[in-house]
Structure formats: C-alpha cells, structure tokens
A and B are shown apart, each in its own frame.
Chain A
Amino acid sequence: MPTKTIKVDYLARVEGEGALSLKIRDGIVQDAKLKIFEPPRFFEAFLRDRDFAEAPDITARICGICPVAYQMSAVHAMENAAGVRVTGPLRDLRRLLYCGEWIESHALHVFMLHAPDFLGFEDAVAMARDHGDIVRTGLAIKKAGNAIVTLVGGREIHPINVRVGGFYKTPSKASLKKLSESLAPARDHVLSVLTWAKALPFPEFEADYEMVALRHGAEYPFNEGRIASTKGLDADAANYESAFTERQEPHSTALHSIVNGRGAYLVGPMARFAINKDLLTPLAKEAATQLDIEHGCANPFKSILVRLIEILFAFEEALRLIESFEEPDAPAIRVEPRSATGVAATEAPRGLLYQRYDIGENGQITLAKIVPPTSQNQKTIEEDLRGVAQQYVSLPDEELQWRCEQTIRNYDPCISCSAHFLKLDVDRGPNEAVQ
C-alpha cells in the first residue's frame, strides 16, 4: 500500500521552533500536524506575585516582534481591573504605537519572510540579488515603523515607555510632526508595490474559515472592541473564556484553541479585514479594490495582500493621529490597584491577543492567563495543511514541502509567542517512492 511521510525538522522564516509532519496513504492525506516543540516559557508563572504595574514590561519580553501587543493587552487588562479608562491623547498615542508595530511586523513578514516563497527564493538575501528594489522598499517601510515605535515606545525593540495608565513620557507635538515627515513617503512606498504584489503567483486555495477579530464599530481595531466572528460570534472580552476553549495536544507545547461548539478559527489580518474592512480609509479601500480583495479574502496565500492593506492603513492612521495630536496634561493617569479580575483583548499584528489577570488586595498578580494569536491559529494552520497537502499531493516531495512551509508562513506564526521553527515530516509509507 503506497504510503508516504514528509517531515520538516525545522521550519524556516518563522519566529520560534516548530516542525511539520504529513502522513499520506494511497494519495490521501491522513494526518497533518504542526508540531511546536519550543519549550514552554512560563511567563504566566513569572507574572504571579509581581506587582500589577510590572505586567507591561514583563509581557513585552515574550516577543521581540510584537512586544507592543503584549504591553497593550496587559495595560488594558490592568486598567479594566482597576476600573480606569484611558482616553484622549494617551489613547491616541497607544493607537499610534500599535500602528508602528503593525508596520514593522507586517513589513518584515511581507518583504523578508513571505515574498521569497512566491518568488522561489530560499530567503530574502537570495531574493535581494534579483529583486533589490522590492527589498529596499520593504526595508524603508519597516524603518518608518521602527521610527514610530522608537519615538513613542522609547526604543525599537521591547519598548520601555508603556505603563499602566499611559506612558512614562509622551512625545512632543514637534517631535511627532518631525516623525510624520518620514511617514508620508513610506506610505507612498506601499502604494508603489501593490502592482508587484498583485502579480505574485498565488496558489488556488480557499477555506470556509470562522474569522475572529475585534469589532469596535467606529474605527479599525487596535486596542478596543467586542470579539466578533464571521459566523455570528459577538462577545465582550470578559466572556472570552466562555466563548473559546484552550486544550492541550500531545504534539504541541502551545495550547490549541477552538470556538466552543464549532472548532478551529482564524485570527489575524484576514479576519480583521473581513470584519472591519468598512472602517478602512478610502485609500486603503481603493488599494483593496486594486488588489481584487475588496469583497474579502478567503485564500490564506493572499494574506500578504491584506498585510499590505493594513500597512497602508497604519500609515494613514498614524498620520491622522499625529495631525490631530494635542500634548496631554500628564503622561499617565493615576491607576490604583484593587482586588479584581481584569481582562483585555487587543489586535496584535498576528491577531487577537487575550490576557486576564487576577489582582489581589496589595496590587499583586495572583493569576495570569495569556492567549497569543499563533496558538489560536494553530488548529486552522493544521486544517490548511491538510487541505493544501491534499490539493497538491501529486507534487514531488520537495515541491510539496515548499508549498506546506508556505502554508504555515501564510500565518506569520510567532511560535516563540505561542510556546513556543520547522521540521517537515511527509510519511507516504514504505512503498511509495520519494520523488
């Protein structure tokens, strides 16, 4: 009986350590597993007995790619526990900081990690030899995102300026005005690559995903909103744990998540776009039309296009926020801890990031729960792998492996966050020759 196994021991161009295994019998994909074997990092345990105000700085260390997201969910959860709401210029600065992180993270993925898949290069260095202008453009876009995070967050990686209640120091109107001078040209760089991106060779593959994202109603979501899905879910973050279940799977050190009563779901740019595309700026909507995704996108390989739309939106939003910015009276509002539970969900570049904290009388954290986007996407990634592998099962192993790795990279997975690179194992059984 022809059987075949494809194994990838270490997945390239993703953050963290994971592996992939496919089991194929008689041309049927019987099993597909994204194996996450990066050791658990115990951040939830580190947080216990720490002061509530330390959470944004500790959680920022979970990831070098999306530290702002961890900080934002942490501060909102703490403020939720304390019954405090941050508004006005401080809220705007948080949105601006998030714009910077989306730009940095999406640009890294689009131009350095994902584009080589479509163009047939092993990595961005090889791609740069033939597509130098695209790589230069990507780096210029990313640099503009870095500049936002540096100014508002205090430094490019692991920002140090975020605190419960606001910031340690807020930028001056003049410094933001100077920053904006670099953002408009970078936004135009995004427009300059749309035609290139649209012409990338996208594999035909679509799935009926339940897409989950925040829905604020008045703005494309970063920090606030109800948790909504394309299949009717509408929940407050406080009810996250009633709506979703995390469960352990033996092959992964990251927990899998399901929507209760249904199953796998998808978070991230495609979900945000599906649920909030009416809230994009006119220019971003125009770009979506130019890319033929204005009515939505269910092909995960085209997530690269959605990321470009979101980069464009983030530049426009950053420019809008800077234009209307008025310096606040104080860099933070006072937040007094109280014995309570605080929850928050914000939109990390890779999707919904949920955090819950139980706070004791003395302001100490007694329990912390963190659900990162990659662990929420893990089950969907495996379902995609099964579908893609089946669709391309007749390809030689090397090409099938490439397509499967590309399938995983569609999600820009941050394995370090979720547990937390790829080993591919394709098992076609002993009698089916490896081509």
Chain B
Amino acid sequence: MTLRIIAVGNLNRRDDGAGILAARAFRRSFKGDIDVVESIAEPASLLTAWGDVDTVIILDASAPAGKPGRIRSIVVGQDPLPKETSAASTHAFGLASALELANALGEAPATTIVLTIEGEDFGYGEGLSQHVAAAISNFVQAITDCTQAIARKRTTHA
C-alpha cells in the first residue's frame, strides 16, 4: 500500500493556501518517508497526482462555516464531501468534482482522506487569517496522526 499527501489551494487567496502551508510544515517536521506533493485542484492534475498510489491524504481549506481553524477529517465514500472545498478555484472543476470524476472513471484511490481546515478569509493576498494561522500546528498534528493511523492499519493487515 502506497501513500501520498496531496496539498491543494491558492497561496494568493489567503486562507485557501492553508493546506499547502501545512504540507510544507509537515514535510519539514516529519522524519519518515512520505511523498508530499502540491497540486492544482483540477482533474487532469489530481488524477495524475494520485494515479500510482492506493491511499491519499488531501489537504485543503474548507469554506467558512463560523469556526475558522476547525479541522475536519473526511473519508471519501463514507463521509459526505462538501460540494466544493475550495472557495477560490478559478477553474470549472474543483477537488470535489475531481474526486467524483475519478470515482465515475473507476480511477479513485482505494482510500482517500480529505483533511480540511476551515478558512475565514479567502480574499486576495498572501498570509493566513489569525485564527487559521493559529490552528496550523494542530493541522500538521492532524496530518501526522492520520499518517500514523494509516501505518498502524497497514501493520495490522500485513
């Protein structure tokens, strides 16, 4: 079983870049060997990004819902996925559409976990809003916990 972390978002749309910034922080702090990539939330790119692995963790910012910085874990196929997790995509297809398309084509990874951090400000510019910036370390910890849970599952099934 192979695992890849895919971060999506737009660093120039404030909190929309939280997934990418968390992925970079995770890459700096994590001592193990996990493939971490940044991708645009677009079907051709995402289908390529997860094409050769069976487990992916996707990091993205979620739309504001009153609790900026809130971290959620969504297991695709078990939990409902918000229609579009990115509020700042300039494209006709976002992450949710790409996941639905991959599923329709039978090309979705066996396990897809979407870790989201709720954003507050998706305006133009760089830098995270205060609440989201304060929650990034927790988001990185959530990524670590998720990878460890996947590793434990692998060991159990080995």
Contact = CB atoms under 8 A, between A and B. Distances in A.
Nearest to A63: B90
A134 B91 CA distance: 21
Contact of B91 (A65, A123, A128, A136): A65
B40 A136 contact: no
Nearest to A14: B92
A132 B45 contact: no
B137 interface: no
Contact of B104 (A113, A132, A142): A132
Given A129-B104, A132-B106, A143-B44, A113 B92 contact: yes
B81 interface: no
A143 B48 contact: yes
- Looking at B89, B97, B104, the one whose CB has the most chain A CB atoms below 10 A away is B104
A125 B40 contact: no
A135 B93 contact: no
Interface residues of B, number: 19
Interface in A404-435: 416
Given A125-B97, A125-B100, A132-B104, A139 B90 contact: no
Given A108-B92, A112-B92, A112-B93, A139 B106 contact: no
Given A128-B101, A128-B104, A132-B104, A139 B40 contact: no
A183 to B, nearest CB: 15
A187 interface: no
B109 to A, nearest CB: 16
Contacts of B40: 156-157
A14 B90 CA distance: 11
- Looking at A15, A139, A146, A156, the one whose CB has the most chain B CB atoms below 10 A away is A139
A146 B44 contact: yes
Nearest to A124: B101
A64 B13 CA distance: 13
Interface string B80-107: 0000000001111100010011001111
B44 A142 contact: yes
A149 B43 CA distance: 16
A163 interface: no
A407 B85 CA distance: 30
Contact of B47 (A13, A14, A124, A139): A139
Contact of A64 (B45, B91, B100, B104): B91
Interface size class of A (residues with CB under 8 A): 20 to 34
Given A112-B43, A143-B44, A146-B44, A135 B105 contact: yes
Nearest to B43: A139
A416 B44 CA distance: 22
A185 B104 CA distance: 24
Interface in B9-65: 40, 42-45, 47-48
Nearest to B96: A125
A112 B47 CA distance: 14
A139 B92 contact: no
Interface string A109-143: 00011000000000111101100100110011011
A108 B43 CA distance: 10
A267 B140 CA distance: 49
B101 A64 contact: no
Nearest to B107: A136
Nearest to B104: A128
A63 B90 CA distance: 7
A64 B105 contact: no
Contacts of A143: 44-45, 48
A94 B89 CA distance: 26
- Looking at B89, B90, B91, B105, the one whose CB has the most chain A CB atoms below 10 A away is B90
A108 B97 CA distance: 14
5 contacts: A15-B91, A64-B90, A65-B91, A125-B101, A126-B104
Interface of B: 40, 42-45, 47-48, 89-93, 97, 100-101, 104-107
Interface of A: 13-15, 63-65, 108, 112-113, 123-126, 128-129, 132, 135-136, 139-140, 142-143, 146, 156-157, 416
